[in-house]
Amino acid sequence: MPSKDKPLVIVTRKLPDVIETRMMELFQTRLNVEDKPMNSAQLAEAVKTAHVLVPTVTDRIDGKILAQAGPQLRLIASFGTGVDHIDLDSARQRGITVTNTPGVLTEDTADMTMALILATARRLAEGERLVRADKWGGWAPTAMLGRRIWGKRLGIIGMGRIGQALARRARGFGLAIHYHNRKRLHPEIERELEATYWESLDQMLARMDVVSVNCPHTPATYHLLSARRLKLLQPSAIVVNTARGEVVDENALTRMLRNRELAGAGLDVFEHEPAINPKLRELDNVVLLPHMGSATIEGRIDMGEKVIINIKTFADGHKPPDRVLAAMF
Ligand code: 8YV
């Protein structure tokens, strides 16, 4: 990218005003003020002209799109942490650098995960719907009974930043921390979190009261919670997912929830967003959220700042701090 010229940056979705304004100051920036998601023809057009593309999770930057990229496209500075919407191998083959925005949405996502655990176990959404529908007949000793979480076991799948931030919160709620991860944590962190490591996911699942999905979606984690593995869970268990829908077999999960083979689920992400298995909507033992785990004003601004820093350092001829290597995922 010629350092004296401002790079042409194409942003695929509306970002916070302060971020867009700063981008306009620093770069030759094309915004999407109407926030209409781009279709594949528009994405193809963007990669033909932009030096830098700033996509989000809603843009599928696959091999077909990248095959149409012009040689001027040098950087994909994604607005988000997950990079499963980008074909990293194709990008690498074409010499396109990919960056993301890790770290700044950890605490917000962990908060939302904890909220979903509580909401699912204590039937928060169901209670709220009851009051709103004017169907509440008054207090009763056996009404709206949920499950206590204090003293129960939480199994965290994926003990990266968000998994660990969840573990810190969950300990305050009296949950015993268990985890499965590709790599075992450093013994000091394990001690601090009083976390029990399970090399075998199958063995862990069978013993947990709450299971939280906090790993990225990669070819290796696609349907990690498969129909077979979901069957290993106790019928009293609940499953929470704030990571990626693809990690859980949504149809198998829905079937089990319908048959009461599982007590409940709290889902912020879905396999085919924004579509969800319609049968999920009919169930009262699920809490359904519209992928809002990291949706705070502060978080979105921090993410935008990271995108700007990644573009600026790259344009200035340095290695951007949040480079994503295909091997990381
Ligand atoms: C973001 C997320 O809001 O960063 C991620 O990986 O899943 C979300 O919380 C989204 O990706 C923005 O692109």
Q: Give the integer Cα–Cα distance in Å for 237 and 209.
A: 5
Same fold across 8-104+296-325 and 106-288: yes
Q: Give the integer Cα–Cα distance in Å for 115 and 294.
A: 12
Nearest ligand 1 atom to alpha carbon 216: 6
Q: Give the integer Cα–Cα distance in Å for 152 and 175.
A: 5
Residue 194 annotated among the catalytic residues of the structure: no
Cis peptide before 274 (omega within 30 of 0): yes
Q: Are 179 and 207 in contact (CB under 8 A)?
A: no
57, 112, 292, best to mutate for ligand 1 pocket (most atoms within 8 Å of CB):
57
For residue 57, the CA-to-ligand 1 centroid distance in Å is 6
For residue 112, the CA-to-ligand 1 centroid distance in Å is 13
User: Tens digit of pLDDT for each residue in 186-210?
Assistant: 999 999 999 999 999 999 999 999 9
Question: For residue 326, what pLDDT is reported?
Answer: 63
Domain layout of the chain by residue ranges? 8-104+296-325, 106-288
Residue 9 tokens read as 């940056």
Task: Give the CB-side neighbour count of residue 203, counting CA atoms within 13 A.
Answer: 8
294, with CB counted inside 10 A (0-12, 13-18, 19+), is: buried
Nearest ligand 1 atom to alpha carbon 243: 7
Q: Which of 77, 61, 82 is nearest to 245 (CA)?
A: 82
DSSP secondary structure of 251-277: HHHHHHHHTTSS-EEEES--TBTTB--
Q: Are 243 and 112 in contact (CB under 8 A)?
A: no
Q: Print pLDDT tens along the chain (329 aa).
A: 654 689 999 999 999 999 999 999 999 999 999 999 999 999 999 999 999 999 999 999 999 999 999 999 999 999 999 999 999 999 999 999 999 999 999 999 999 999 999 999 999 999 999 999 999 999 999 999 999 999 999 999 999 999 999 999 999 999 999 999 999 999 999 999 999 999 999 999 999 999 999 999 999 999 999 999 999 999 999 999 999 999 999 999 999 999 999 999 999 999 999 999 999 999 999 999 999 999 999 999 999 999 999 999 999 999 999 999 865 55
Q: Give the integer Cα–Cα distance in Å for 287 and 126.
A: 8
Nearest ligand 1 atom to alpha carbon 79: 13
Helix-strand-coil split of the chain, %, nearest 5: 35, 15, 45
From the candidates 51, 178, 244, 300, give the one annotated as an active-site residue: 244
Residue 273 annotated among the catalytic residues of the structure: yes
Report the alpha-carbon angle 11-16-17, nearest 5: 95
Report the alpha-carbon angle 95-96-102, nearest 5: 130
Q: Give the integer Cα–Cα distance in Å for 95 and 115.
A: 41
Topology of the domain covering 8-104+296-325 = Rossmann fold (3.40.50)
From the candidates 22, 161, 291, 323, give the one annotated as an active-site residue: 291
For residue 261, the CA-to-ligand 1 centroid distance in Å is 31
| Lining residues, ligand 1, CB within 6 Å | 56-57, 79-82, 105, 293-294
For residue 293, the CA-to-ligand 1 centroid distance in Å is 8
* Crossing angle (nearest 10°) for helices 124-132 and 106-121: 70
For residue 245, the CA-to-ligand 1 centroid distance in Å is 12
Looking at domain 106-288, its CATH superfamily turns out to be NAD(P)-binding Rossmann-like Domain (3.40.50.720)
User: Tens digit of pLDDT for each residue in 266-310?
Assistant: 999 999 999 999 999 999 999 999 999 999 999 999 999 999 999
From the candidates 45, 261, 273, 305, give the one annotated as an active-site residue: 273
Three-class SS state of 155: strand
Residue with CA nearest ligand 1 atom 11: 80
Q: Give the integer Cα–Cα distance in Å for 176 and 258.
A: 28
Report if pTM > 0.85: yes
Residue 271 annotated among the catalytic residues of the structure: no
